[in-house]
Structure 1
C-alpha cells in the first residue's frame, strides 16, 4: 500500500506573552496552508492561578475568518462590532474579518473574581477568504454546541464544525469548500477519512493516531498532512481526539503579515498604516490595544 502521508508537522511552541504559550502547526516552513486553513494554533492545556489570566488585548484582522473552538475553559470575546459573549466548549465562534475587525479575548471577569484555577484548552484557526470575499463586511456568528451536527458509529464520534462530510452539513456559513471536524475515537475504533476534499490533514489533539495499513503512530500535537486523493482509515490504540481540516486550495497565493492576510501586498500595507494611525474601529469598553510589531518582516508569501 502506498504511503498516504505527504508530511508530518511537529509544531513549535510560541510564547504570546505573560507566559502563555501555543503550539503553531500552520503556517510552517514545511507547509503554509491546508486548503483555506492558513493558521492553526493549539492553546493549552493550561490552568491559570492567582492573578494569572488570558489577556489577548484588542488587535485587528483583515482578509480571513477566525474560528475559536474550545475543548475546556471559557473565553470572553469582544469585538469592534459590539459583540460581547463567552466562548465555551463545543460551540463554534466564527468571526469574519473581511475588510477589517478588531477583537479581544480574555478570561471572563467572573472566573477572575472566583480565585479558582481557570482552565483553558482549545484551538484557534484562521481561514483565508477567497479573493472575491476578502473585503466582505466584518461579522461575528456564534453557533451553540447543540447546533453542530454529529455522527456516531462503533466508537467513533464526529462533530462537523464547518463544511460537509459523511452526509452532514454544518450550519456554519463559509466562503469556500472546506472540512473542519472534531473526531473522537475509542481505543481500536476506526474512521474512514474520505478524499472528498483536495487537501486534508489530521491534527492529533490528545492520544495518538494510526493509519490502517501503515506502520507507526503519530503522537499528540502533530499535524499529519495527507496526499491528495488518498483513501485512509484512521484508528488509534487508545482513546484519542483528532481534528480534521482541509478543503479546496486557492488559485492565488496568500500574503500574511502579523494578523493580516491578503492576496495583495498593497492591501497588507494599507492595513498596517490604518492600525498605526488608529483608523480601525475600537472594541467598545476595551481601551487597550496591541501595537503593530516593529520587528516583524514585510508580508511574506504563503
Structure 2
C-alpha cells in the first residue's frame, strides 16, 4: 500500500463544538491500490494522523467487480504495525510468509501482526461476489511488540448484539460489556454500528480515549453534522457518551483508543521511529531478507519505491514534527 503520496488539507465541520481542539471532518482522497482497486484514504492526514493507535484507514467500495478481477495486491512487506481487514461485501484471500492462506468474507475479521517483518498478498478469488466493499486499517505497534514475532489471526465469530434499532459487532477491544477475541497491543476499540430503524444509538465511551466515526454506507448525524459515506469524523477526547442518528441500513465504524504518544515515521508499508529504521526495512525487502516468501503466490513481489531525497521525519499523532 503506497505511502509516499502527499496528504491533503482537512477542514473543521461548521457548527460543531469539539471536545478536542483538533476535532475535524476528514473527507479523504482516492488512492490506487494494486491494478484494479481504488481506496479512499482517511488516515493519515495533515494535523490529524491517528485515532488512538489506528494510524491508517482505507475505505474501499462498494465497487462492481462482477466483470473485473477485484482486489489484486501482490506480495509486499510490512513492519511495525498490525493490519485489520473487515468486509461488508465481497471476498479476499490473504496469503502470508508465515504460510497462512485464509479467505475472508463479510462479518469476519483478519488481524495480521507484522512485528519486525512479514510479507503478504491480498487477492479476490477467481470466482468472487459481484460487489466488494470494506475497510483495511493499520494499528501502530508499540515497543516491544513492533520488534517481536509476526503473527496472523482469523476471527470467524465476533461479539454481536442488538441495542434498540441498532445491530453492533465488536471487532477490537471492549464495548458494552463485550470483549473481542482479537489481540492488540494498546488500549483500542473498533466496532461496526448498523441501523435497522430510525431511533438514535447512545453509546457509553471512555473519556481517556479519542474516537473517530467512519460512515461506510447510508447517512448519519453526529453533533448536528451530516456524515456521508467515505467520511471520517474525528470526535476528540474527553467524551463519555456518543449519540448517533442514521437512516435505516446505514453502516458506521467507530474507532477509538488511548492517544498514541510515540512519534512515528510512516513510509510506504513500514511504520518506524526513524529514517534509518525505515531505510533498513526497505533495503532488507529489496535484498530478500527478513520478510520471508508469501505462501502459494508465485507473483513477483512489489518493488519498494526509492527513498525520498529528503530525510524522513518522525511526527506525533497531530502531525507535528518531533526530533
Give me the TM-score of the superposition, normalised by structure 1.
Answer: 0.91
Match of 2:243 among 228, 233, 238: 233
Conserved 8 A contact 1:27-1:39 = yes
Shift of residue 17 of structure 1? 4.2
Query: Is the alpha carbon distance of 1:295 and 1:190 closer, same or farther for their aligned partners in structure 2, counting shifts above 3 Å?
Result: same
List aligned pairs for 1:206-245, cutoff 5 A: 206-211=217-222, 214-230=223-239, 231-245=241-255
Q: Which runs of 5+ in 1 are unaligned?
A: 112-116
- Note the alpha carbon deviations across 1:128-163, whole angstroms, 9 max, x for none: 11122111100111110xx21112121111110010
Instruction: Return the alpha-carbon distance in structure 2 between the equivalents of residues 251 and 99 of structure 1.
Output: 20
Cα pair distance change 1:51/1:12, threshold 3 Å: closer
CA deviation digits over 1:156-177, x for unaligned, max 9? 1111001011111111111110
Unaligned runs of 5+ in 2: 1-14, 316-323
State the Cα deviation string for residues 49-107 of structure 1 (Å, max 9, x = none): 44533210000000000011111010111000000021111111100000100000111
What is the aligned counterpart of 1:39 among 33, 47, 56?
56
Please point out which of 205, 208, 212 is paired with 1:201: 212
| Deviates further, 151-160 or 2-11 | 2-11
Corresponding residue of 2:297: 286
**SS of aligned partner of 2:260:** coil
Q: 2 CA distance for matches of 1:9 and 1:177?
A: 23
TM-superposed CA distance for 1:286, in Å, is 2.0
- Relative to 1, partners in 2 of residues 1:254 and 1:154: Cα closer, same or farther, differing over 3 Å? same
Contact persistence 1:55–1:107 (CA under 8 A): yes
1:299 aligns with 2:312: yes
> For 1:109, what is the secondary structure of its paired residue?
coil
CA deviation after TM superposition for structure 1 residue 296, in Å = 5.4
SS in structure 2 at match of 1:68: strand
Alignment coverage as a number of residue pairs: 293
Q: Distance in 1 between matches of 2:111 and 2:121?
A: 14
Tell me if structure 1 keeps the 8 A contact 2:195–2:247. no
Q: Distance in 2 between matches of 1:300 and 1:119?
A: 39
What's the offset of the Cα at 1:16?
2.2
Indicate yes or no: 2:13 matched with 1:3: no
Secondary structure of 1:131's counterpart equals coil
- Segments ≥4 residues shifted beyond 6 Å: none
Other-structure match for 1:130: 142
CA RMSD of aligned residues (A): 2.0
SS state of the match for residue 15, structure 1?
strand
CA contact (8 A) 1:258 1:296 kept: no
How high is the TM-score relative to the length of structure 2?
0.85
User: How is 1:64-213 mapped onto 2 (pairs within 5 angstroms)?
Assistant: 64-111=81-128, 118-144=130-156, 147-196=157-206, 197-211=208-222
Distance in 1 between residues matched to 2:47 and 2:217, nearest whole Å: 22
Distance 1:296 1:159, change over 3 A: farther
